[in-house]
Chain A
Amino acid sequence: MKLLLAFFLIVLSTLVISNQKTNYNTDPLQESIQRGSEIYTDFCITCHMPNGEGVTDVYPPLAKSDYLMNNREGSIKGLKYGQEGEIIVNGKTYNSYMAPLGLSDDEVADVMNFITNSWGNKNDKMITEEEVSNIKN
């Protein structure tokens, strides 16, 4: 069993490495998503969970979230300045407070690109640092 597992590990790491090589080297969107995933693990994962599923009734999901995908500006604003007041996500009302995260504009862009392209979300129009910096509270 151990040998088998070791084999799987090797295969998997090869796959991951080769995937990274083919996808993440030149494409600016993929690079941004990669940086965004690291920020997500640091700043977001404790509440929004590893697969963006959130916590029932407390933290809204990001995965397949209609709010996130249809409110690009509002979502950026929430990340930049904090999120307050009622929002409706996939038909459910949430009213938790998310404090300002202290992320710089390029970091907000990266994490937006990550969450809008993960767990079934798809967003071809890349969010840039400039777009984030133009959004004011």
Chain B
Amino acid sequence: MKKLNILLIVIFVTCFSCAQQAESEIKAAEPANINYMTQVVVPELTIPWGMTFLPDGSMLITEKSGELFHFKNGEKINIEGAPDVYVRGQGGFLDIELHPDYENNGWIYMTHSSTEGEDEGGNTALIRAKLNGNTLVDTEVLYKAGPNTKKGQHWGSRIEFDNEGYLYFSIGDRGNRDVNPQDITRDCGKIYRLHDDGSVPADNPFVDAENAKTAIYSYGHRNPQGMVKNPFTGAIWVNEHGPKGGDEINIIRKGNNYGWPVISYGINYSGTTFTDITEKEGMEQPLFYWVPSIAPSGMTIVSSDKYPDWKGNVLVGSLKFEYLERLVLENNEVTKREKLFEGEGRVRNVVQAPDGYIYVAIENLGIARIVQKK
């Protein structure tokens, strides 16, 4: 009997372990001729999750472990009054973003893992505060997702403003794949849209839906860790982690369902499948999907004149393969992928700053500026 059992297991494993995945049609290639190089400007950071640029050209940087740094005149100043961060798994101090009218109102927006609330564990919170000298003041919690959970997975998060002044931010499914993402009465696995003061816009898609979390703008997401306003169209673009394969780029539109986990190009880490379908009516197809996964984090779309070779290209950090991916698009279709600066470390974030330079946050290294080769 034991032999038969083993035989059956072998057959079973063979049948299921080779779930076939369609690889991305366009493969990431080595760069043929690259005119740019990286130049470290902020050294000695561990996981620089978020960065944003103040009007004087100085930089605010969040470290996942909970510190907030102000990098000014070559000096890294520790800012007091940073929020209480719940460091757990993929959670910690997450993104940071200035109000579009920062010069007049001084508001700084941040997301972080928070234990606020009754249940054990934590969930993602959006806050805003002002910088007074080297201290954060006037802190307001604008949104705190619930329920808390001790799961370490999928907190998101990125923050972005659109041209109308709406604030968007992401929260991942918090490791509760089969419950959260498809349910608009629950937090997590969502992109949220709020006014800058945290109030819910009257025309948000689910304001009239029964028991819905009305801050939700789109749903069916797994774990979005890249978000950028397309500088050419004004649309909000997001990238999100898939499981094993199935990372995605999506353009966020009001009320859309992006399908996780009902449709996916990914499979479980173990190689087994959780869905047989990659498309379904009422669910959006990604603009692009990665198989195998690159583990995307951070995203920017190049509009600066400093990089004429790259204008209009999408840049995405790869945590898994430790490079910056450059995607060339034609009519919203990826036609070319290239690996930039491979081997410098896990790329956590990429931002085009107001000075026109692109800055790349690399784990265990720091923040580097991309400059023309001499």
Q: Which of B5-13, B21-29, B160-168, B258-266 contacts A (4 or more CB under 8 A)?
A: B5-13
Contact of A97 among B269, B271, B321, B364 (CB under 8 A): B364
Contact A42 B269 (CB under 8 A): no
Q: How far is the CA of A45 from the CA of B346 in the complex (A)?
A: 17
Contact A102 B9 (CB under 8 A): no
Q: Tell me whether chain B's interface is mostly helix, strand or loop, or mixed.
A: loop
Q: A42-B175, A100-B87 are in contact. Are A50 and B15 (CB under 8 A)?
A: no
Chain A residue nearest to B321 (CB atoms) is A58
With a cutoff of 8 Å between Cβ atoms, the chain B residues found around residue A11 in the complex are 5, 8
With a cutoff of 8 Å between Cβ atoms, the chain B residues found around residue A5 in the complex are 12, 15
Contact A102 B87 (CB under 8 A): yes
Tell me, yes or no, whether B317 is within 8 Å of chain A by CB: no
With a cutoff of 8 Å between Cβ atoms, the chain B residues found around residue A101 in the complex are 88-89, 152
Tell me, yes or no, whether B53 is within 8 Å of chain A by CB: no
Q: How far is the CA of A43 from the CA of B152 in the complex (A)?
A: 6
Contact B175 A97 (CB under 8 A): no
Write the A18-49 contact mask toward B (1 if CB under 8 angstroms, else 0): 00000000000000000000000111011001
Contact A99 B86 (CB under 8 A): no
Q: How far is the CA of A132 from the CA of B268 in the complex (A)?
A: 31
Q: Interface extent on A, as a size class? A: 20 to 34
Q: How far is the CA of A49 from the CA of B293 in the complex (A)?
A: 13
Contact B320 A55 (CB under 8 A): yes
With a cutoff of 8 Å between Cβ atoms, the chain A residues found around residue B15 in the complex are 5, 8
With a cutoff of 8 Å between Cβ atoms, the chain A residues found around residue B320 in the complex are 55, 58
Tell me, yes or no, whether A87 is within 8 Å of chain B by CB: no
Q: How far is the CA of A102 from the CA of B65 in the complex (A)?
A: 10
Q: How far is the CA of A99 from the CA of B363 in the complex (A)?
A: 10
With a cutoff of 8 Å between Cβ atoms, the chain B residues found around residue A58 in the complex are 320-322, 346
Q: How far is the CA of A100 from the CA of B11 in the complex (A)?
A: 40
11 A-B pairs in the complex with CB atoms less than 8 angstroms apart: A8-B15, A9-B12, A15-B5, A42-B151, A50-B269, A50-B271, A95-B364, A97-B363, A99-B64, A99-B92, A101-B88
Give me the 10 closest cross-chain CB pairs, A-B, nearest first.
A102-B88, A97-B364, A102-B87, A8-B12, A43-B152, A50-B270, A50-B269, A43-B89, A42-B152, A45-B269
